[in-house]
Structure 1
Amino acid sequence: MVPTPRPLFKINVDGAVATAAKKAGVGVIVRDELGRVEAAMCRNLNAPLGAIETESMAIEARLLFAKDIDIRDIVVQSDSLILVKALNGTSVPPSAISVVVQGILDLSLSFRKVEFSHVKRQGNRSAHVVAKHALSIVDFIIWIEETPCFLEQALIHDVTSQVFH
Structure 2
Amino acid sequence: MQIHSFVADIITIAALAMRDGLVFANALGCNRVEAESDSLQVINFCNGQTTWWDIAAPIFGECLDTSNSIGKVIFKHCYRSCNQAAHVLAHFCYCNKTSFSWLDEPPDIVVSRIIDDVSLF
Structure 1 length-normalised TM: 0.67
Distance (Å, rounded) in 1 between the aligned partners of 2:101 and 2:45: 28
Distance in 1 between the 2:7 and 2:56 partners?
14
1:141 corresponds to which of 91, 100, 105: 100
As a proportion of its length, which structure holds more strand? 1
Closer, same or farther: CA 81–161 of 1 in aligned 2, 3 Å: farther
- How big is the shift at 1:96? 2.1
Q: Which residue number in structure 1 is paired with residue 32 of structure 2? A: 73
Aligned 1:36-51 pairs, distance under 5 A: 43-51=2-10
Counterpart among 82, 85, 91 of residue 50 in structure 2:
91
**Alignment equivalent of 1:120, drawn from 50, 55, 79:** 79
Paired with 2:64 and 2:20, the residues of 1 have a C-alpha distance of 13
Relative to its length, the structure with more helix (as a share) is: 2
Give the fraction of aligned pairs with identical amino acids, expressed as a percent.
Answer: 26
Letter in 2 for 1:80: S
Residue 30 of structure 2 aligns to a residue whose secondary structure is coil
> Does the Cα contact within 8 Å between 1:123 and 1:161 map onto a contact in 2?
no
Letter in 1 for 2:52: P
Structure 1, unpaired ranges of 5+: 1-41
Q: Which residue of 2 aligns with 1:129?
A: 88
Q: CA deviation at 1:48?
A: 4.0
Aligned to 2:20: 61
Give the drift of 1:79: 0.8
Distance 1:90 1:71 in 2: 25
* Correspondence for 1:111 among 38, 53, 70: 70
Structure 1 CA distance for aligned equivalents of residues 101 and 66 of structure 2: 21
Give the TM-score, by structure 2 length: 0.88
Amino acid at match of 1:104: C
Deviations 1:122-150 (A, max 9, x none): 12211121111220344521222011111
In structure 1, the residue corresponding to 2:24 is in which secondary structure? Answer: helix
Note the residue ranges of structure 2 that are not aligned, 5 or more in a row.
none
Conservation of the 8 A alpha-carbon contact between 1:123 and 1:158: yes
Change (3 A) 1:137 1:44: farther
Query: SS at the partner of 1:136?
Result: helix
**Alignment length (residue pairs):** 121
Letter in 1 for 2:108: C
Rounded Cα–Cα distance in structure 1 between residues aligned with 2:120 and 2:35: 19
